[in-house]
Chain A
Amino acid sequence: MRPISNNPVTVTSDTSDSDLVAAVTGGNRQAFRLIVERYEGAVATTVISMLGNITEAEDIAQETMIQAYRALPSYKGEASFKTWLSRIAVNRSLDALRRKKRRFLWFLNKDDDDLLNDVPQQHCTNQQREQREAIQQSLLQLQPEFRAVAVLRLVQGYSTEEAADILQLPTGTVLSRLARAKKQLAAQLRERL
């Protein structure tokens, strides 16, 4: 537990999400640091899986956090904080992919080939690293809309309803995209692994 005492309301790493949000909206900026530390992993997993490129992913993750900070007063707690943050992360990633597609369409494949060396791979053997690269490469072959569903459902483990809520899509659309993504992923992985 790491208390932060230079603020009107003392917050610790054990403080609940809703209390941290209340503290941030009340002007306690250090409470936001705890939110960032708490959800860095979830946001990093989402943006790295979506974008592949670790440098770009870190930029998008930062934008996600800054946007979340600005939008915090509008967070009413209908969805869990993680779900709410994931929505921002996915939308930011999709925006980045659209921008990238528009600007550097012909560089995209080259970038994607290089990017996997950067993905965090602590304590990985060569075989694990190769397997992981193959998995990430397979994921990157999916169209962004299908990739978003696959990342949320298969990597992050969200339910179909939660994924639909995050992507603001009907459940049926999520299910059909997931089915197509799974089919493509399975085919890709069979080839690569």
Chain B
Amino acid sequence: MNHDDEQEKQLRQQLASLQVKGFESGFFADRVMQQLQRETDSGFLSGLHEELQRMFFRVSLPAAAFALVLGAVNLMIYSTPDLTVSGFVDALLGIRGLESDLLFTI
């Protein structure tokens, strides 16, 4: 056995005292499992939040775009040179020129 091996053997024997079987608290596994549960719960909630947000954008963005296009088409069809503010809103909604009776029917 050379000097290096002897030195390593001696060091190993000395450092062996640093080996432990676990943490002294004795609840390490409980602690890990609780943390895992907490992370799973918060992960589930943030996942749900993200999913709801995604659904909202998936529905509301196309709906908003559709409303914009519809308003633009209505404006092109119903706008006249003498357009007032209320007339503009009517034109935007596509109800310009409709009688109140008919509006109630709609």
Query: Per-residue CB proximity of A13-38 to B under 8 Å, as 1/0?
Result: 00000000000000001001100110
Q: Which A residues, 158 to 193, have Cβ-Cβ distances below 8 Å to chain B?
A: 179, 182, 185-186, 189, 193
Say whether B20 contacts A48, CB under 8 Å: yes
Q: Which residue of B lies closest to A47 (CB)?
A: B23
CB contacts between A and B, total, < 8 Å: 92
Interface residues of B in 24-38 (CB under 8 A from A): 24-25, 28-29, 31-33, 35-36
Whether B31 and A44, one on each chain, are in contact in the complex, defined by CB atoms closer than 8 angstroms, is: no
Closest Cβ neighbor of A58 among chain B residues: B23
Task: Give the residues in chain A near B24, CB-CB below 8 Å.
Answer: 54, 120, 122
Smallest CB–CB gap between B32 and chain A, Å?
A: 5
Interface size (B, Cβ < 8 Å)?
26
Q: Is the interface of B mostly helix, strand, loop or mixed?
A: helix
Measured in the bound complex, the distance between the Cα atoms of B32 and A163 in whole Å is 26
Q: Which residue of A lies closest to B25 (CB)?
A: A58
Show the binding face of A for B, using Cβ within 8 Å. Answer: 29, 32-33, 36-37, 40-41, 44-45, 48-49, 54, 57-58, 61-62, 65-66, 69, 119-120, 122, 128, 131-132, 135-136, 139, 150, 154-157, 179, 182, 185-186, 189, 193
